Structure formats: C-alpha cells, structure tokens
Structure 1
Amino acid sequence: MKQITDAKPSGARKTYHHGDLRKVLLDAALAEVAAHGAQGLSMASLARRAGVAQSAPYRHFSDREDLLAAVATDGFERFTEALLEAASDGDDVTALNRMAVAYLVFGERNVELYRLMFASGLVPGAAPDSALKRAANTSFQPLLDRVRTSDPAASPLSAHVRWGQLHGLVMLKADGFIHDPLEALVGVLSL
C-alpha cells in the first residue's frame, strides 16, 4: 500500500501565485483612491491594501505615476461605458440628456477617481500614444457623436462647451457649492 505524505520534494519552492495580480492591485488602488483620494496612494499602501509584498506592485507598475495612470485609464474606460450605455437606453431625442445624467452620476459617485481623471494633470502630461491618452480621448467621443447627431452643423467646440458645463457641475457639486439634485441640474443645462 502506497503511503501519501504531505512532504514536498526537497527542492520545491514555496511560492504563492496571486492570480491576476494586476487586477487585484488596480482594484485595491481604486478602493484607496475612492476612500482617501489619489494623493495618499503609495506603492507601499497599495501593497498593504492588496495583501502582497511591498515589491509586488513593481512587477506591474514602474512607479506611482504609472499606477495612477493605470487607475485613471480604468476610470476613463468605465466612464465611456456609462456614457455609451446611457446613450443607447432610449430614443435619440433624449440621448444627450441621458448622457448628461450619466456623466453627473459618474462624477458624483466617483468623486476622487473623477478628480484623478480630470483634475490631476495626468492626461495632459501623458504621451500621445499612451493607453491613458487614448482612453481619455475615447471618453469624449460619445458626447461629440451625440452632439453631432442632434445638430449636424455643430462643431467640436459645441461639444466642448457642453462638456465644460457638465465638468463644472460635477466639480462644484463635489466641492459642496451646489446641493441641487442631478436631475434638476440637467433640466436647466443648454444641451
């Protein structure tokens, strides 16, 4: 009869495979940004939050800036999905208003991530061919497309003005200057 033992071969390494460590780290970074803002996020705090060795984040991110760019990229991708979903959930006539609500809701529910995406200087400083720059540019496209659909003669400047209105409302609401409900804000916008 063969005996089963728990002993490992003498040359076996004791390693722990975390699975999708990059996703775990990004999720932990998103949670840290949501809870405390991006300014307090460090590679060491990320490792602690993810429950991994302090060197583990460096396997996926070269430094804090690289990590923050990845978090912002993920944020822009989620933001774009929210806008596209809102645009497709009804008729074309009210699509721009639905997108405006989705924009404001995203900003209100993700204040610190929104600040990282739009107010941190990461995007303007990103390389033109970077994932961050592409994700940021892609996030503007649904609004531009919807403005052009509602008014074929509208220029990109018209979409920028609408974007500026929405951005201003998100920031003013986040900073406590506006207390009105989101629906009321969208109702008075000149979309």
Structure 2
Amino acid sequence: MKRKAAPKPAERRESYHHGDLRRVLLDAAHAEIAAHGAQSLSLSSLARQAGVAQSAPYRHFADREELLAAVATEGFEAFTRAILQAAEAGDEAGALKRMAAAYLRFGEENVELYRLMFASRLVPGSGPDSPLQAAAWASFQPLLERVAAAEPQRSNTAANVRWAQLHGLVMLKADGFLDAPAEDLLAVTAI
C-alpha cells in the first residue's frame, strides 16, 4: 500500500484544538456583544474567531439562544458581585446608595450586556429552574433584602420601584437621553 505524501505547508489546514472551547466561545461572545450588541452574534462567526469547525460550538450550546442565556447568566453573576461589593464597602446605612451607584456603573460600563440581561426576552422566556433564572433572581436579592429591612410592609413593591428607577436611568443614559454623571442622578433619586 502506498502512503499518501504529507501535504505541503501551504496545503495544511489550520486547525486549533481548544482545551476549553466553551470558555473560548463565551469570551468571544462577551467581546462581540460588547462591541456590536447581541443581535448580530452568530455561532458560526464565533467558530471562525475560535478557529474551529462551524459545528464545534454545537457541542457546547444547542443553539444561539442557549449561548446568549449563558452569557446573560455570567452577566448577572458579575452584576451581583458588583453590587454586593458595593454594599460591603461601608456601613449598612449607606449600602443601598452604594448598591445603586454600582448598578448604574455596571449598566454604563456594560451597555450591550446589560441590554441582553434586562431588555431581552431571555429571562422571562427561560425556565423557572434554569441557571439564568437563578442568576437573575440572585441579582435582585441584595436589593430586596436592604429594602425589606427598611420597609418590611412593602418590601417587594418598594424594591421593584427602586429597580425600575435604576433600570430607567441606565436605559435613558444608554440611549442618549441623559448625559448627567451617575452621581448626579443618584443625588436626586429616591433610592
């Protein structure tokens, strides 16, 4: 049997094996979303960026929606860490204001990720036991706990109103309707 000659260097197909392709795809998706928003993201473009076959991402994500849900889940986890760090950065009396500032800062620094997390149908469309639902709920808990301590009779309603105020400020700034610094906005917001 005759052996086939090795391909010449120019004929070799470039391939790359990732030790953790799931992580590489998530990192690439985060970067793509930050630069261009989630609407233009595709698994095939991420595969090209990662230097893998177009079918490779499907070993880790069933479809684009599952990838976006994973990105949003990580976004909620990072958001929760940011507001918890802010809450713990001083006395309890100022925790709610610091959390509100961290909320606005996260939204300003991660506009497109924030849109994916809070202005898409991903969370409402996810299952009640999904990692995305758990991460989204966990991000609301610190606010709810602080508000419940101050207003136990109306904690859910009061927390939702504060959340709506913060969300509105983030979205109005993101869409160019407000240009005031976050500190100025918080100074006149009933948080």
Same fold (TM over 0.5): yes
Q: Distance in 1 between matches of 2:136 and 2:86?
A: 18
Which position in structure 2 is the counterpart of 1:110?
A: 110
Which position in structure 1 is the counterpart of 2:92?
A: 92
Which position in structure 2 is the counterpart of 1:185?
A: 185
Q: Pairwise CA RMSD of aligned residues?
A: 1.2
Which position in structure 2 is the counterpart of 1:174?
A: 174
> Percent identity over the alignment?
69
* Shift in Å, 1:57: 0.8
Which position in structure 1 is the counterpart of 2:10?
A: none
Query: Which stretch of the first structure deviates more once superposed, 143-152 or 53-62?
Result: 143-152
* Shift in Å, 1:116: 0.4
Which position in structure 2 is the counterpart of 1:10?
A: none
Alignment of structure 1 residues 14-33 onto 2, 5 Å: 17-33=17-33
Counterpart contact for 1:93–1:150, Cα < 8 Å:
no
Alignment of structure 1 residues 1-191 onto 2, 5 Å: 17-191=17-191
Q: Distance in 1 between matches of 2:140 and 2:79?
A: 10
Long gaps (5+) in structure 2: 1-14
* Shift in Å, 1:16: 5.1
Deviations 1:19-40 (A, max 9, x none): 1211111010000000000000
3-state SS of paired residue (1:155): helix
Counterpart contact for 2:16–2:52, Cα < 8 Å:
no
Q: Distance in 2 between matches of 1:25 and 1:169?
A: 31
Counterpart contact for 1:72–1:116, Cα < 8 Å:
yes
Counterpart contact for 1:107–1:114, Cα < 8 Å:
yes
Q: TM-score, with normalisation over the residues of structure 1?
A: 0.89
Q: TM-score, with normalisation over the residues of structure 2?
A: 0.89
* Shift in Å, 1:17: 3.6
Deviations 1:117-141 (A, max 9, x none): 0111111010111111111111100
Long gaps (5+) in structure 1: 1-14
